[in-house]
Homo-oligomer: A and B are copies of this chain.
Amino acid sequence: MRFGVLGTGTVGDAIASKLVALGHEVKMGARDARNEKAAAWVARSGARASQGSFADAASFGELLFNCTSGAGSLEALKAAGEANLAGKVLIDIANPLDFSKGMPPTLFVSNTDSLGEQLQRAFPKTHVVKTLNTLNAQLMVAPGSLAGGDHDLFMSGNDAAAKGKVKELLQSFGWKTIHDLGDITTARGTESILPLWIRLWGALGSPSFNFKIVR
């Protein structure tokens, strides 16, 4: 399958590398089509990896990942182009973290709205599915590396078929338990976990942890 990964940071790199490892073709997109981090990723990732602009990546992918920073997501998706996003599933991993007021970061949208909803409203023809935003990049693509994968993921989105596709993909990453929370407004729930996640990172001294819902 062909994937477009928007974003060249730790998350974009981890996701794009996992997709290539699973045999998919991946184009990593950035503001600059010759982005250096994307070039370095392509150089070490073999023939199925390529790079381009946000629009190139969005056009290339049958399924898209938003791995840009939350503060830059809306602008990145506008650069990707509404026509390139229309009718496609966009897996939104970004969090609305605001670092402008110092550490720890706060959220620039929360409580009565979410970044996932903002993106869905801005691109109504795209099926936004919020997931993977509640844990460390390394764990996103290797859940089995922690406690044999016995920890959980959450998913929010308006379209059942889109969530079905995403679930299948996440299972190919190794995820066992994926809680479908409901429509995209439930992204408020998972984005709101970040203030706790950040403080747990401090308390535990490591970002290699995840939530499990015990029933």
What residues make up the interface of A, taking CB atoms closer than 8 Å to B?
101, 106-107, 110-112, 146-147, 150-151, 154, 179-182, 186, 188-190, 192-200, 202-204, 206, 208-215
Contacts and interface: CB of A to CB of B under 8 A. Distances in A.
A196 B203 contact: no
B195 A189 contact: yes
A195 B192 contact: yes
Q: How many copies, total?
A: 2
B188 A200 contact: no
Contact of A195 (B188, B199, B204): B188
Nearest to A152: B214
Contacts of A210: 213-214
A181 B203 contact: yes
Contacts of A211: 211-214
Nearest to A112: B106
Please classify the interface of chain A as helix (H, G, I), strand (E, B), loop, or mixed, using the class held by over half of its residues.
Answer: mixed
Contacts of A203: 179-182
A208 to B, nearest CB: 7
Contacts of A180: 203
Contacts of A202: 181-182
B147 A196 contact: no
B189 A200 contact: yes
A145 B211 CA distance: 20
A199 B214 contact: no
Contacts of A151: 214
Given A106-B112, A111-B111, A204 B213 contact: yes
B200 A213 contact: yes
Contacts of A189: 195-200
B209 A181 contact: no
A181 B200 contact: yes
A214 B179 contact: no
A179 B200 contact: yes
A106 B196 CA distance: 17
